[in-house]
Structure 1
């Protein structure tokens, strides 16, 4: 009995050993292959996940960079707009910040002086005008200087776009103008006009800005040719008498003298005297 039991146990051990060997010889390669196959998708998925993560990171980084770039660009544009807006606001403030109760800019004549009285210039001579500016808060970039005459509605240009200095001055060669100008100078009264070259002669005065100056008048005359004394006759003089008036006066004086002499003779004859 004991020997049979040992033989049976030995047979069972051999069967188990054989089964183990068979299983070991049959299953390793498929298992390794399956394991390898199953590991490959996992690695691929991991790689894909890594690539996706990297792509996502790169995309986020690019997006962030773009956002930063957009932020820089937006900041620059905003800065420019703010700067432009500030410039416009400053310009607007320059125009409107002056108290409207302040006077407009003006001109005070220096040559000729105010105490010099009315001036008359001969056509053909040089004429000089000089002036100072008053009550200016904004200095014009340039000025235009004209002379106007109401007799012929003419405008004579003395200077245009003249640079502004503390004391303004203009020299006018009336002889050169009379020789070449299309509108001749008349023996009349003229008005000097000075105004901002960026404005006009009809501009409304503004506080602090140069207003159109048209307060100074002067006379101009054209000299007449010389005539000798016998041929000269003053037709416009109040004390001058015409030839007929002179003859009438002579006749009256003669008749008066005859009357006085006649009366004296008769009076002497009758013994009155």
Structure 2
């Protein structure tokens, strides 16, 4: 080998030898061999030593922390417990009251009849009743179809002749058997004096009205009993008695009308009998 060639080979070998360590240097960031052979390593962890949390001081400004007083804690717990019990008790009472009220309320079917009265004084079989104005009159009755008892009742007597209403009792307590005593002498000389006429007894709920539509099971306006009142006349001997509707002229006219009616009826019978060949 020539000296020139030998020198060139030595220079080339020395260049390769000088560059060879850099190819495997791990600290060289631009070395491609490092990345290929060893791969990229992520050194994200801090090299600084981790700091440990210092324990908090149990005192602030040299004063110890204030701890909860067990008495106050127990008192608060007891108060909360008592409050909870009170609320539970009140809720229970309110719920119980509401349940009791709801259980007491009645549900009445709409097809049930309204309440009324049935007279026992006078009895229903006694027939029409007439009372003298100025006397005491007694009425008594039982309730029928009554499912809701009214708190009180009003009792009236009405007359269609003078369109007057006479108060017998107001806000009378309700009993199993109703009863009223009426002193007719008090209404004898009132602004609307009692007449010799027929009257109707009214018994109805004080919280309702006479013209109110009766509800099922509730007391309606009981107005089925009618009675008569009359004004007594002075005694007149028979010989002095005169009938305004029984004079002679009136009697003659009545007899004539009766005779004509009988004659017309008899003639009609004869005509029909002859027409059918009875003669």
Give me the TM-score of the superposition, normalised by structure 1. Answer: 0.61
3-state SS, counterpart of residue 223 of structure 2? strand
- Structure 1 residues 224 and 42, CA gap change in structure 2 (3 angstroms): closer
Partner residue, 2:207: 198
1-side partners of 2:191 and 2:92: how far apart?
56
Partner residue, 1:153: 163
CA contact (8 A) 2:154 2:204 kept: yes
Per-residue deviation, 1:182? 3.7
Per-residue deviation, 1:222? 0.9
3-state SS, counterpart of residue 159 of structure 1? strand
Partner residue, 2:194: 185
In the alignment, which of 67, 71, 74 is matched to residue 53 of structure 1? 67
2:248 equivalent to 1:241 = yes
1-side partners of 2:98 and 2:183: how far apart?
48
Residue ranges of structure 2 left out of the alignment (5+ in a row): 1-56, 254-279
2-side partners of 1:165 and 1:118: how far apart?
26
In the alignment, which of 98, 123, 127 is matched to residue 133 of structure 2? 123
1-side partners of 2:111 and 2:58: how far apart?
88
Give me the TM-score of the superposition, normalised by structure 2. Answer: 0.60
1-side partners of 2:101 and 2:208: how far apart?
20
Q: Which has the higher helix share?
A: 1
Partner residue, 1:208: 217
Residue ranges of structure 1 left out of the alignment (5+ in a row): 1-40, 247-273
The count of corresponding residues between Structure 1 and Structure 2 is 197
In the alignment, which of 75, 87, 91 is matched to residue 78 of structure 1? 91
2-side partners of 1:138 and 1:209: how far apart?
5
Per-residue deviation, 1:143? 2.2
1-side partners of 2:89 and 2:180: how far apart?
49
Per-residue deviation, 1:190? 0.7
2:154 equivalent to 1:141 = no
Cα deviation, 1:209-230, whole Å, max 9, x if unaligned, reads: 2222001111111122334455
3-state SS, counterpart of residue 195 of structure 1? strand
